[in-house]
Amino acid sequence: MTDDATPPGRPRKGPDRSPSDGRPAVLILTDLAAIARHLALVTACEDRGLEPVLVFGPETPPEELEYHHRRGHPAVRVPSPPRVSDYGLDATLEAAGPYLRGGRLRAVLACGESFVETAGTLAETLGLPGTGGHAARVCRHKTLQRLAAPTLAPRWTGVHARTPVDGDTWHHYPAVLKPTGRMCSSGVHAIADADALRAQLPTYPDDEPLLIEERVEGPEFSVESLVHEGDIVWAGITAKQTNEHTTRFFTETGHLSPAAGLPPEAEKALLTANATLLRSVRFGSGISHAEFRLSGNRAVLMEIAARLPGDAITRLWHLAHAVPLEPAVLDLALGIRPPAPRARRRAQQLYLEHSPGLLREVECPGTEVSWTAESAAWPDPRPAPADAPPRRCAVLVGPRRGTLLGEAADSFGRAVSVVTDASLDQDVAEFTHRTAKEVAIRTEEPPAD
């Protein structure tokens, strides 16, 4: 099978400009793994005559930055870019100090979850557009989200590893136990009864705040929104798949943008809940990614993030709209209201099952395989005409060769996915499952100790 994608190749090299060249600047707080999926942010800055100033977080090793600088990576334009030891405000203020005075800074953006609160606080302090410090804080904490929007929340209570489990603590089963501040489904477990809760609680750090909440039956969706000064410019619904039916985890294994076959009342429930949530957290300007469970016609809050969505969701919307989301996100950070995009195709990402062992190779006839961690860049498939036949657009591999693969207990446990698209009246899901069978994932037993 062939595809119509731009080969992943090497990331597009930025213009040969020295840093701090006097242009108006945009501060992008990120890690290499996050900006790798959103290099269009860097391109959008350059296209507007703005200097993209990237500050990297502690998850990005200095040797990785040096390696990709030598390769001409567009996000690593200087030999030793600013890198902070933590995601807090003080470290960022020190790293970005030269750009915070003199009026050169036009926008502050968080690319990735960990810098969201710092970016929101800094932009608000400087009088720049952004989510707002309050919204950024709430969007980083699941308990605050439930307090901010109680009518959307499931039944819940706060616990910790030392909480005694009795009838007064919690008696609504089945339930879900989750940390309040983690991401990527890390630490989220299905809890069948009180005995399971007693057994699971001690597996968390003593001081980590947790939520125990009722398990909401029904499909999961996310709503991605472009918001300008509290007004929703665009909102799109993405349908999700998880591994909850075959495991005790809730790892996302698939995304479909826009969601297909939603009854009008279900779509209205999701969009209304999303609007209520954004008002409740006092969201200013930026992109949001809110997750809900649809129980009947009630949308129940799971969480909201004040950042670009993860996995390939931005690629899916790019394929659906034929325009990327990143330039619109930059517009919002600059105080500009972007146009609302319209879906003309439907796109899907599906994660594939793998055998446990050391990852050695991934092969797919007719499609170049993209090793995103190794290249620090995601491929950019070209959008197709609205009525074009279904296509396999990309095969993505997250881990590096030699990584030990096991159970997908969270997002970090997944390895390989395919991205496809089709016209709105075609069954992209059927095509995706069929074309996924052509992908070969090769693993081998790890050496004996």
32-53 residue pLDDT tens = 999 999 999 999 999 999 999 9
In the sheet where 357-363 sits, what is the strand order? 404-405, 357-363, 440-444
Q: How do the domains of the chain map onto residue ranges?
A: 25-128, 155-214, 217-343, 349-449
Q: Which fold has domain 25-128?
A: Rossmann fold (3.40.50)
Cα–Cα distance for residue pair 246/95, rounded to 1 Å: 45
Q: What is the pLDDT of residues 306-357, one digit of tens each?
A: 999 999 999 999 999 999 999 999 999 999 999 999 999 999 999 999 999 9
Average pLDDT, the chain: 91
What region, left, alpha or beta, does residue 15 occupy, with left being phi > 0 and alpha being psi -120 to 50 degrees?
beta
Task: Give 368's contacts (C-beta < 8 A, 6+ positions apart).
Answer: 5, 7, 8, 379, 395
Q: Which amino acid belongs to residue 336?
A: I
The token pair that represents 335 in the structure block: 């105080």
| Helix axes 326-333 and 40-47, enclosed angle (nearest 10) | 60
CA distance 290 to 148: 14
- Domain at 217-343: CATH architecture: 2-Layer Sandwich (3.30)
25-128 and 155-214 agree in CATH topology: no
Q: Collapsing DSSP states into helix, strand and coil, what is residue 349?
A: strand
Give the whole-number percent of the chain exceeding pLDDT 90: 77
Strand order in the sheet with 391-397: 298-305, 286-295, 220-228, 231-242, 252-257, 345-351, 416-423, 391-397, 369-371
Q: What is the pLDDT of residues 89-103, one digit of tens each?
A: 999 999 998 899 888
Looking from the CA of 331 toward its CB, the CA atoms found within 13 Å total 14
Neighbours of 296 (CB within 10 A): 11
**5 class by beta-carbon count within 10 Å (0-12 exposed, 13-18 middle, 19+ buried):** buried
Task: Locate 307 and state its tokens.
Answer: 């950042």
Classify residue 49 by burial, with Cβ atoms within 10 Å: 0-12, 13-18, 19+: exposed
Picking from 310, 380, 323, 315, the residue whose alpha carbon sits closest to that of residue 348 is: 315
Q: How far apart are CA 288 and CA 434, in angstroms?
A: 32
- Which pLDDT value is given to residue 20? 57
Share of the chain above pLDDT 70, in %: 94
CATH second-level architecture of 155-214? 2-Layer Sandwich (3.30)
Handedness of CA 245, 246, 249, 255 (dihedral sign): negative
pLDDT tens by residue, 261-309? 999 999 999 999 999 999 999 999 999 999 999 999 899 999 999 999 9
| DSSP states of 294-337 | EETTEEEEEEEESS--STTHHHHHHHHHSS-SHHHHHHHHTT--
Answer whether residue 87 shows pLDDT above 90. yes
> Which pair of tokens denotes residue 136?
């950024």
Q: Out of 20-24, 231-235, 353-357, pick the least confident.
A: 20-24
Burial of residue 323 (CB within 10 Å: 0-12, 13-18, 19+) is: middle
**Structure pTM?**
0.91
Output the pLDDT for position 80. Answer: 82
Cα distances (Å, whole numbers) of residue 89 to 4, 112, 120, 247, 283: 43, 15, 10, 38, 20
Question: Tens digit of pLDDT for each residue in 124-146?
Answer: 999 999 999 999 999 999 999 99
